[in-house]
Chains A and B, each alone.
Chain A
């Protein structure tokens, strides 16, 4: 039984890693007042980039290419939303639709129509000495792929950046009250553009971690709604890095449940477990949105006087 619990916790952290990375990026963008519904598209771009990069022979190239692809997708979004001030939600929907299609198209154009599984280098779990020996939670937290350790660093940096730096304060000011931020000498559009690009980098990293540390190949539409789940995670985590990371773990657990239940030989239909994260998202949004407070200027198209 304790073997099963350990395996369940390990799977929880592993499946939570891409969700947490994407949600941390999204929370930074939302704190600056931009909701990126195109996060799903950013993640699938990161997945594709990671496969192309990893084909060059190394995991590091995969990670870098994934981040670059995520930033490129976010740049398109930023051009429309920050520069042209188009509606954030419709633009994001179009980005998702386009990125899902374009990655599928390019995948077949570059790797052929056979759809055969590509062999790419993947990230294996790296056990951290001593810490991974802690009973039950040790292996879950400290016997993971390196990208999970990167997540710990990203979560800590995001917390430090948002709550302890001038730049973080400026970013939050833009998300709450852009006119006041502008009066204080901050350029709201520039801050929002930067925040969107950061969320693109983290969304791309999330896609790369999905490919390199979980799936090991690319499949059309493999992001499977994780971008939208990540947006729900941001609301559940109340827009704070620590809260967002913990909320991602909850969703990781929901996904990991299917492995646990399958191993216990339950009679319940497996589609129920596949649907569980999406149902959980609905429940969590109802609870989270009702109690949490979103940045005041979230989704606003105008930024006051230019």
Chain B
């Protein structure tokens, strides 16, 4: 009854090779979707490339800025999936984190002598974890599928923000449905001068590196992998408290997604409003699966999908291709991954567990 090594612990080099193959396949799929929808494939691709990597502005101020929340939420989803928790609620947890950060920064103002920013980021993580606590509790206490409860929590968070930015958190003139702008002292410092890239990106990469180390080298990481791969063996053979570990994974996942929201407010938007996230929490699922749930590779897949989103924004501006194209491509990515995994499983039965 020794737990078998999780299948996703392949060498990163081979995973990168697969990632490149996938990237090529995705480009093909993208061209197909564009052609079917009646857009000029050449023009659209030119705009996509310009928007994603055509200039230093495109790389630092568009692609990497978008990659930052995707890496953090992708990490949240990857760790949760690895622990057998299907957290689809990163979007709501991100919004809660953004709300907490905004509220804390506006309450503390400039009086706290530089502490407002770190406190706000901690508050964002706590907010995200608190938002994840509800589905975690429903799962552990009542057996409610977290897929559904987390999505319900996403809607509740969206309406909650909608209420706050028209009520208690609305800006002083009471005209626009958004919060007051946060003071300049509480903005995240820039990482690359002259660009929009803030140190949140470095924070996200550091978080991914830390998660990689923890999952790979520590007892806690081992427990997470065992519980995700085979909860029954984890409980009987390894004598682990599966519920407690799952709760912790769920809360950690929520905290990372909440942090993404805090980083977005203090690094990019400088205010809270409803459309703060263009679905980062849902894209995060594609980020995590594309990385094979590997915390280190989440950085690579996060940058890749960040580039895709930045390029898609340029495609919309320059070639009139609707931005929703991105979610079609993401869905195709996920289907391609689960389909390929299923075909491999069929050839080598019992190689992998559900959840990846």
- Seen from chain A, the residues whose Cβ lies within 8 Å of a Cβ on chain B are 37, 80, 84-87, 89-91, 93-95, 97-102, 104-106, 108-109, 113, 220, 224-225, 228, 231-232, 269, 271-272, 274-275, 278-279, 281-282, 285-287, 289-290, 301
- Seen from chain B, the residues whose Cβ lies within 8 Å of a Cβ on chain A are 33, 37-39, 86, 88, 134, 138, 141-145, 147-149, 151-153, 155-156, 159-160, 162-163, 166-167, 282, 285, 289, 320, 322, 324-328, 330-332, 334-335, 338-339, 341-343, 345-346, 354-356
Assess A80 versus B322: contact at CB under 8 Å? Given A228-B152, A271-B159: no
How far apart are A83's CB and chain B's nearest CB, in angstroms? 9
Task: Across the interface, name the chain B residue whose C-beta is closest to A106.
Answer: B37
Task: Across the interface, name the chain B residue whose C-beta is closest to A229.
Answer: B152
Assess A100 versus B167: contact at CB under 8 Å? Given A84-B339, A281-B152, A290-B142: no
How far apart are A95's CB and chain B's nearest CB, in angstroms? 7
How far apart are A41's CB and chain B's nearest CB, in angstroms? 9
How far apart are A82's CB and chain B's nearest CB, in angstroms? 11
User: Helix, strand, loop or mixed for chain A's interface?
Assistant: helix
Task: Across the interface, name the chain A residue whose C-beta is closest to B329.
Answer: A101
CB–CB A282/B332 < 8 A: no
CB–CB A225/B155 < 8 A: yes
Residues of B within 8 A of A37 (CB): 147-148
How far apart are B276's CB and chain A's nearest CB, in angstroms? 16
Give the CA-CA distance A264 to B61 in the complex, in Å: 50
How far apart are B154's CB and chain A's nearest CB, in angstroms? 8
CB–CB B144/A289 < 8 A: yes
Residues of A within 8 A of B138 (CB): 282, 285-286
B141, B324, B334, B343: the one within 8 Å of A93 (CB): B334
Residues of B within 8 A of A109 (CB): 37-39, 322
How far apart are A92's CB and chain B's nearest CB, in angstroms? 8
Give the CA-CA distance A90 to B341 in the complex, in Å: 12
CB–CB B88/A285 < 8 A: no
B285, B328, B341: the one within 8 Å of A105 (CB): B328
CB–CB B149/A80 < 8 A: no
- Scoring B143, B147, B325 by chain A CB atoms within 10 A of each residue's CB, the highest score goes to B147
CB–CB A86/B149 < 8 A: no
Task: Across the interface, name the chain B residue whose C-beta is closest to A272.
Answer: B163
Give the CA-CA distance A90 to B355 in the complex, in Å: 8
Known pairs A275-B160, A279-B156 / 19 extra A-B pairs, C-beta < 8 Å: A80-B342, A87-B354, A87-B355, A90-B285, A90-B334, A91-B335, A93-B88, A94-B334, A98-B332, A102-B33, A105-B33, A105-B322, A109-B39, A113-B320, A225-B151, A271-B160, A282-B134, A285-B138, A285-B149
